[in-house]
Structure 1
Amino acid sequence: MKGEELRTYREAKGLSQSEFAVWLNERLQRRYDKQKVSRWENDAERIPAALDALIRRDAAGVEKLGGPALVVVVANQKGGCAKTVSAVNIASALALQGYATMLIDCDPQANATQHLGIDSYTLEADAKTLYYVMHGDLELRDILVTVEESGLRVAPSSIRLAETEVELGKEAGGDFIMKEKIAAAKRTFDFIIIDTPPNIGELTKNAMVAAHTAIIPCQTEKFSLLGMGFLLENVAKIRRRMNTALSVLGIVPTIYKQRERNDREVLEQIQEQYGPHLRVFDPVPKASVYAQATSVGRAAVEAMPDVAGAAVYRDVAAALVEERIIRMKEVDRVA
């Protein structure tokens, strides 16, 4: 989008540059001002991809933006299955399309935080991580960090969050703390993606209780497949006992090696065993570029949009957009 197009769009809405900045901030959860809008309109600064996508969708009247959020938990009790890579890239894909998206790093290892180039050590020293939100010292909005390239908002983690794992089990109503903490954000964000620890502990349980739907990354190897049934059993228990709205959006096969017989066999098993009742997305191939993106603090879908597997993450993002539309229609119908 060129600056002249942006000016035409703003004027058609009858907004001054200051009012337009406020309008953008409400939808993208940013802090733009009149000067920033002026630089865009004069082509003195590149218009962000997320803003471009937001405006084009708004002009087309595609769907409602700015809440209520669809809350998505990305979970697998097995480590090394590209769970965090999947959470980061799915959240980034949504943000790049102009959706107000928050990524909550609910893993004490803080891999999602560090993946996006955010210094969890400094934030912990400043008491600005998820730990302090879960303990009631801060509101979620107080710790959010913006990823400049995509506009994604991140609730960072740190190793101290591990203390919460024990404390949640002892607290009355401890299973519902995450749901309580994100209540205000659900009114203004379009999507909230929660990355979880590689276990079915109290933090993962909290995320599942707070979520509308789950995405399960599964490496195409036998140990990951064996753990899938256990994970789905836990999802079913959460649904029966604490969150009847929880669904499973689908399974994302990851780290797939087309040339390896074992990978092909496991992918076939996933499709045969779970395909009849769950969506199984195309596999994300093993690619060194994901590790490289992590090393420079970027999401692969943002830094290298054509990388192998990026299309899969965009497909998952599209499925989440559709899921949100469906759920919003259901709410409107009941109302």
Structure 2
Amino acid sequence: MRIAVIAPLRFPIREPFRGGLEMFTDLLVRALMERGHEVLLLAHPDSSPDLPLVPVPFPERAGFGGTLRAHARMLRILAKLDVDVIHDNSIHFLPPLWSRKTGRPMVTTLHTPPYRASRLTGWMTRGRHPHRFVSISDHLGRQWAPYVGAYTVVHNGIDLQSWPAELSAPARPLAVCYGRITPEKGIHHAIRAAKVAGFPLSIAGAVADRDYFEQLIAPEVGEDVRYLGHLNRAQLGELLAGASVGVFPAVWDEPFGLVLVEMLACGTPVAAFNSGATPEILTSEVGVVVEKGDAEALASAIGEAAGKDRADCRRRAEQFSIQKMVEAYEAVYRSVLAVNDVVDQGL
């Protein structure tokens, strides 16, 4: 198939990734190419040069108007491309509306909760051929259902070879927490919980909210709390290999949680808040899930989770492989193309 993949345009698709959505897009494109598809990626011009890039300029610090103009520019570029199907990961309301108008086959993956602007798009495009909605979790799909109607669940996957497992217990206790450093990711809860549990904590991730970092994270950094900066996949894998437990303290409704699968793939059990799709990934064999926002309960979970079997963690992660994810998306592509063929033939 000839597939155009629309990336989230604000940040480049390259390591170290800004967040899970950028990593997802990179993995998807590379896996589709490995399976023999002809792929074009519409993305930020500074994306990795070894991707099949169709650059779309995006202005720094763009507000609503600048973001809207960037997506309109992207759609004008897209209109000139000869592809079979379009996979929209933009998390913007404009591409599905464009698909409705032009009749171009499109699959839109829902990566975020149903924000107000996108709810209207859901209503206007629900049940419209040739378009399909995909949710990255059952939890997120239930949130979107009132607006988009029918949807397919395709859990995110990772390249397991990029996250080698360390199945021997670390010599010293260590907790690890990583991801975008923003209030909704709850890093301050991980710090408090690790201190109560008596585990040194290593933190990694891009500082997306400087005020939050300076006020609640930086003052805690010291002998038992380290901030390691924004790490790439290889560096994170090395960090996790030496970790007794991963901590996932998100306080918003996490749509999926790639970090959870990455931790498990390295054999690292997880202590987590009950956030969004977290229970879809963590079973009692590989992690401990506690009430969101309860740092004391999270401290107890850290100690309990650290004793889980690391081989079980790896086996659980294998249920979320990139191969399974891409096979599921290929089935969705074929479905939307089959419907489009029927419509074209007037049947």
TM-score by shorter chain over 0.5: no
Higher strand share: 2
Greater RCO structure (CA 8 Å; 6+ sep): 1
TM-score (norm 1): 0.40
